[in-house]
Amino acid sequence: NAGVTQTPKFQVLKTGQSMTLQCAQDMNHEYMSWYRQDPGMGLRLIHYSVGAGITDQGEVPNGYNVSRSTTEDFPLRLLSAAPSQTSVYFCASSPAGANTGELFFGEGSRLTVL
């Protein structure tokens, strides 16, 4: 199984540009989420989804949009990139109702905004 797949792995943007980070999972998980990780820090939740058509904000949602049109995909959009959005982004998924806190993370997308 591929698990959680993120693309691209690396991206450099100029301030003001827009882009979409892609995330796909093949485990039929209901829950998906996006986190960002800044140097020397833990991950912080940006947005999450508990199922197709349902999204909600996490701790640091400003500057990011998400949508969940299918169970498999959960893209993260940056409408106007800012240097403060330079970070490593992780997508995660998990089954609903699971009796553990285990999230399955992708390998990450490293974004640099100049």
* Torsion over CA: 23, 26, 31, 36 (sign): negative
Q: Which stretch binds another protein (CB under 8 A): 20-28, 41-49, 61-69, 78-86?
A: 41-49
Amino acid at 13: L
Binding characters for another protein, 50-89, by CB under 8 A (x = yes): x-------xx------------------------------
**DSSP E strand boundaries for 1-108:** 4-7, 10-13, 19-25, 31-37, 43-51, 54-57, 64-66, 76-78, 87-94, 104-105
To another protein, the closest distance from the beta carbon of 64 in angstroms equals: 16
Q: What is the C-alpha separation between 76 and 80, in angstroms, rounded? A: 13
Applying CB under 8 A, does 34 fall inside the site for another protein? no
Q: How many residues bind another protein (CB under 8 A)?
A: 26
| Of the candidates 91, 87, 114, 84, the residue with the CA atom closest to the CA atom of residue 12 | 114
Indicate which single residue of 18, 79, 80, 102 sits in contact with another protein (rule: CB under 8 A).
102
Q: Which residues would be at the binding site for another protein (CB under 8 A)? A: 4, 31, 33, 35, 40-45, 48, 50, 58-59, 90, 92, 94, 100-108
